[in-house]
């Protein structure tokens, strides 16, 4: 009987440990009354240019326009309903003949996210505008902003709260002191950023940028009197990357990304390579590995055929959360297509190419 009791206690401990992990994520990401929620993020930040920095709008060194889609699936074996993030964007260069060595960039960004048992849904639509100016023959300075509309909603039926614990388990039939003023909110959101690129020769390209998100401090809360206020904290993002052409068949791409919001910060750094499989660069193999500090190792594999590029990455958890998710963090897929306007005179790329 003692062995049976110990086994039962272990099973209960594992069950409630997993539940408390789930509750922690629900509280962190679904209930601003408890703690500020952090913005969504992509491990492939370099393939989500408009969500990283609005100054990237129309900043397309090797094309006139691009469209892309991004899908991320996270915590599939920790939460009953895992985090799902979806993104679509498009941008283009405009008025190249109206400015001396400069042009405008115009774009859009759609972000959709669903998380947790509360089915917290977030939908954001942005329009972005940027201006790009050549400085001499080897530098480019860009500045841009975007303005968006955001909608968030939550379903409270399946949420459990601390005062619903009856001593043995959480009973959703028990009354709770947690009351929602609204289950759906809307607000406007503003971002701004700058970007600088340096390309001293055909085989070397350097780029860095900085952006501020939630410049207008939009209010976000499902509660009438949130204990910690309801303004979304300003988010800072900085990045730097390079393209180094090592040979006729290999381009090296190191990059680093840093973001900070409230008391949370994140660093992602890594290296990828592009290998030319067919003379002319029509077919390329992309591979790399990235590291998010104290959280995950992120291998990347991609393939480019003409103007279409597909990338897949996977976050292999290395933090203490790996005990709960067996190191299975998040899968991420991106698809990007670039192109040139018809009847446009040949324009040399500003970055190394095959």
**CATH code, 137:** 2.40.160.40
Residue 34 lies in a domain: yes
Burial of 343 (0-12, 13-18, 19+ CB in 10 A): exposed
Cα–Cα distance list, 268 to 47, 86, 249 (Å)? 14, 20, 27
To 10 degrees, the CA torsion angle through 56, 62, 65, 68? -70
Secondary structure element (H or E) that encloses residue 139, with its range:
strand 139-153
Closest CA to 118 of 160, 82, 155: 155
The predicted pLDDT at position 183 comes to 78
Cβ atoms of residues 316 and 299 within 8 Å: yes
How far is residue 209's CA from residue 255's CA, in Å, rounded to a whole number? 12
Q: What percent of the chain stands above pLDDT 90?
A: 51
DSSP 260-316: EETTEEEEEEEEEEEEE-STTSSEEEEEEEEEETTTEEEEEEEEEETTEEEEEEEEE
Please list, residue by residue across 196-206, b when 16 or more beta carbons sit within 10 angstroms of its beta carbon and e when fewer do: bbebeeeeebb
Cβ atoms of residues 274 and 284 within 8 Å: yes
Number of domains the chain is built from:
1
The predicted pLDDT at position 273 comes to 96
The predicted pLDDT at position 70 comes to 94
Which stretch of 95-109, 145-159, 215-229 has the lowest confidence by average pLDDT?
A: 215-229
Residue 189 lies in a domain: yes
SS3 8: helix
Residue 67 lies in a domain: yes
The predicted pLDDT at position 149 comes to 96
Closest CA to 288 of 62, 111, 45, 74: 45
Residue 348 lies in a domain: no
Q: What percent of the chain stands above pLDDT 70?
A: 77
Q: Is the pLDDT of residue 159 over 60?
A: yes
The predicted pLDDT at position 17 comes to 41
Q: Which has more pLDDT, 53 or 320?
A: 53
Mean pLDDT of all residues belonging to the chain: 82
Of the segments 10-14, 48-52, 317-321, which one has the largest average pLDDT value? Answer: 48-52
Residue 346 lies in a domain: no
User: Which residues fall within 8 angstroms of residue 171, CB to CB, at 6 or more apart?
Assistant: 164, 165
The predicted pLDDT at position 348 comes to 65
pLDDT in tens, 43-95: 999 999 999 999 999 999 889 999 999 999 875 555 555 678 999 999 999 99
pLDDT in tens, 238-252: 999 999 999 989 999
Cβ atoms within 10 Å of 98's Cβ, excluding its own: 9
Q: Is the pLDDT of residue 220 over 90?
A: no
pLDDT in tens, 107-127: 999 999 887 666 788 999 999
Residue 305 lies in a domain: yes
Region of 72 on the Ramachandran plot (φ > 0 left; ψ -120 to 50 alpha; else beta) = beta
What's the chain's length in residues?
A: 354
Residue 350 lies in a domain: no
Q: Is the pLDDT of residue 327 over 60?
A: no
pLDDT in tens, 259-286: 999 888 999 999 999 999 987 778 999 9
Q: Which has more pLDDT, 131 or 160?
A: 131
The predicted pLDDT at position 278 comes to 83
* Residue 85 belongs to domain spanning: 2-339
Residue 132 lies in a domain: yes
Q: Is the pLDDT of residue 190 over 50?
A: yes
What DSSP character marks residue 33? T
């Amino acid at each position: 009987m003692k062995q049976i009791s110990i086994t039962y206690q272990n099973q209960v401990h594992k069950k409630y440990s997993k539940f408390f992990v789930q509750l922690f994520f629900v509280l962190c990401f679904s209930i601003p009354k408890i703690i500020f929620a952090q913005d969504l993020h992509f491990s492939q930040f370099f393939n989500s240019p408009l969500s990283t920095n609005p100054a990237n709008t129309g900043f397309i060194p090797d094309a006139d326009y691009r469209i892309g889609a991004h899908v991320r699936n996270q915590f599939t074996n920790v939460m009953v309903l895992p985090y799902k993030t979806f993104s679509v964007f498009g941008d283009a260069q405009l008025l190249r003949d109206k400015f001396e060595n400069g042009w405008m960039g115009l774009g859009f960004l759609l972000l959709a996210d669903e998380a947790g048992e509360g089915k917290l849904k977030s939908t954001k639509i942005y329009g972005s505008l940027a201006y790009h100016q050549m400085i001499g023959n080897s530098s480019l300075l860009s500045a841009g902003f975007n303005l968006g509309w955001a909608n968030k909603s939550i379903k409270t039926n399946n949420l459990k709260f601390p005062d619903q614990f009856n001593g043995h388990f959480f009973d959703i039939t028990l009354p709770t002191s947690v009351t929602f003023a609204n289950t759906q909110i809307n607000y406007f959101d503003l971002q701004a950023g700058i970007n600088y690129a340096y390309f001293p020769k055909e085989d070397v390209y350097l780029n860095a940028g900085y952006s501020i998100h939630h410049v207008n401090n939009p209010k976000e809360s499902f509660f009438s009197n949130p204990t910690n206020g309801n303004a979304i904290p300003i988010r800072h993002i900085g990045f730097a990357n390079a393209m180094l052409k090592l040979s006729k068949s290999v381009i090296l791409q190191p990059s680093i990304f840093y973001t900070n919001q409230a008391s949370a910060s994140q660093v992602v750094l890594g290296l990828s390579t592009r290998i030319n499989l067919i003379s002319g660069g029509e077919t390329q193999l992309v591979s790399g590995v990235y590291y998010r500090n104290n959280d995950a190792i992120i291998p990347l594999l991609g393939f480019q055929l003409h103007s279409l590029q597909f990338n897949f990455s996977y976050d292999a958890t290395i933090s203490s959360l790996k005990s709960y998710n067996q190191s299975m963090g998040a899968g991420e897929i991106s698809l990007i297509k670039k192109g040139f306007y018809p009847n446009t005179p040949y324009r040399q790329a500003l970055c190394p190419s095959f």
